[in-house]
Structure 1
Amino acid sequence: MHLLLLLLAFFLPPKAQAGEIIGGHESKPHSRPYMAYLQFVAQGVQKKCGGFLIREDFVLTALEKKANLNPAVQPIKLPRSKDKVKPGKVCLVAGWGRVAPNGKYPNTLQEVKLKVQKHQVCEREELLKKFYKSSIQICVGDPKENKASFQGDSGGPLVCNHVAQGIVSCGKKNGKPPRVYTKVSRFLQWIKETMKSHQVQETD
């Protein structure tokens, strides 16, 4: 069993809330073949989060075994190391998290389109500026719209032009945008080295 690429966990502050889709809608069946749904137990409590397939044997955040690729299960492209997602760009987030604060978890994959914000938008938010780092994170979600990721979606991808540019990370406890996403491009070298190392170990 391999539990690899636990990227998200390193960037969640202790009191931050991660993951649900607010203000979105149900995804068309099999339209997001890269999405992964993870359940695990941490300190005796069952947790739920999302992830995304980047190779048949690797999911960000984690993967227990190789995926059986088919039309409904496919990896998503990673960004280039120099890729930058500019403010104003509309990207997509999907997940199985709650659809409202204190709401129920849906039985079907939900998705929502969110607009990338300038770094200053997160830096001036009292509850975000303490841990927001523009060098490794992306500020996402229009403060004027009731659309966001929240509890249950952490680990899922921020998809821009069919490329996984970010990872659902954290935000305010009330689920209001903007929210914080980890930049995949800043960790691309580590991700590739980890996958390459794993591939070499399998062939030994």
Structure 2
Amino acid sequence: MGPQNTWVVLVLGLSLRGQVQTGEIIGGHEAVPHSRPYMVLLELKMWQNETRYCDGFLVSDEFVMTAAHCQARIYYVHVGLHKFINNQTPKGIEVSRAIPHEEFSSTTGFNDLMLLQLSKKVKFTEHVRPIHLACRRDLLPQRCIVSGWGHSEDKHDMASAMREVNVTLVNLTISAEHHAYLSLGKIGPSYGDSGGPLVCEDEVAYGVVSRGDRCFKIFTKIPDYLVWIEGHLRKM
């Protein structure tokens, strides 16, 4: 293993002790309203009556994909949203069933993937529609973007409007071994955007925002989990 891969192993290990539980868009800009119709905001009611937020994305009229570490007691899913104003945004759709990956580990952060089944199907419109999932491939995707309502770099509150930023993935074997894509640097999601999609090449979802810090970002690799995803979708 070369020195660069050794460094990534060390960084991944350090991240597990303080992995990102939600994310923020750092270095981005406000998205064009409703230009990402697959995006959803997840309002999470925790067991201590605390409210937290994650992102997610529509994969059908009945299912949302997000990160497994975004598990909660009750979920409300906001679809077709651009601006979010707390206590003024209408109540979201409730989730009838949460399906975190069976091998997700809160200790390691691996297999950080979850499907949420909505209590009612959504009606597709110009502002609400699912995104296609990437198939298995060996080539590293190019021209990727992440979006969300997380905190901006210099603020401690959620962004009132969805933001987005371009990210560049790096081709390291350690990423493949852990079923993840990796980007280096400060730019990208961090606090407030967990569970959102890594969208590359003609509006296709390649990954799910998982964890990271100011040095790197990790995305669960969707192509490696297609059998699991499609198996649960077919059961419905």
Tell me, yes or no, whether TM beats 0.5. Answer: yes
Q: Residue type matched to 1:79 in 2?
A: A
Percent identity of equivalent pairs: 33
Aligned length, in residue pairs: 169
Q: Residue type matched to 1:166 in 2?
A: G
Query: Is 1:140 the equivalent of 2:183?
Result: yes
Matches within 5 A, 1:1-204: 13=16, 15-17=18-20, 18-44=22-48, 45-61=50-66, 62-65=116-119, 66-80=121-135, 82-86=136-140, 89-100=142-153, 103-119=156-172, 134-141=177-184, 143=185, 146-161=186-201, 162-172=203-213, 176-198=214-236
Q: Residue type matched to 1:103 in 2?
A: H
Structure 1 unaligned spans of 5+: 1-11, 124-131, 199-204
Query: 2: CA distance between counterparts of 1:102 and 1:43?
Result: 26
Query: 2: CA distance between counterparts of 1:34 and 1:99?
Result: 21
Query: 1: CA distance between counterparts of 2:206 and 2:190?
Result: 18
Structure 2 unaligned spans of 5+: 1-14, 67-115
The alpha-carbon deviation at position 79 of structure 1 amounts to 0.9
The alpha-carbon deviation at position 100 of structure 1 amounts to 1.1
Runs of 4+ in 1 over 6 A off after TM superposition: none
Q: Residue type matched to 2:118 in 1?
A: E
Query: 1: CA distance between counterparts of 2:139 and 2:217?
Result: 15
Higher strand proportion, which one? 2
CA RMSD of aligned residues (A): 2.1
Contact 1:51 1:60 in 2 (8 A): yes
The alpha-carbon deviation at position 46 of structure 1 amounts to 1.4
State the secondary structure of the residue aligned to 2:23: coil
**Alpha carbons of structure 1 residues 69 and 181: separation in structure 2 relative to 1, 3 Å:** same
- The alignment's TM-score, normalised by the length of structure 2, stands at 0.66
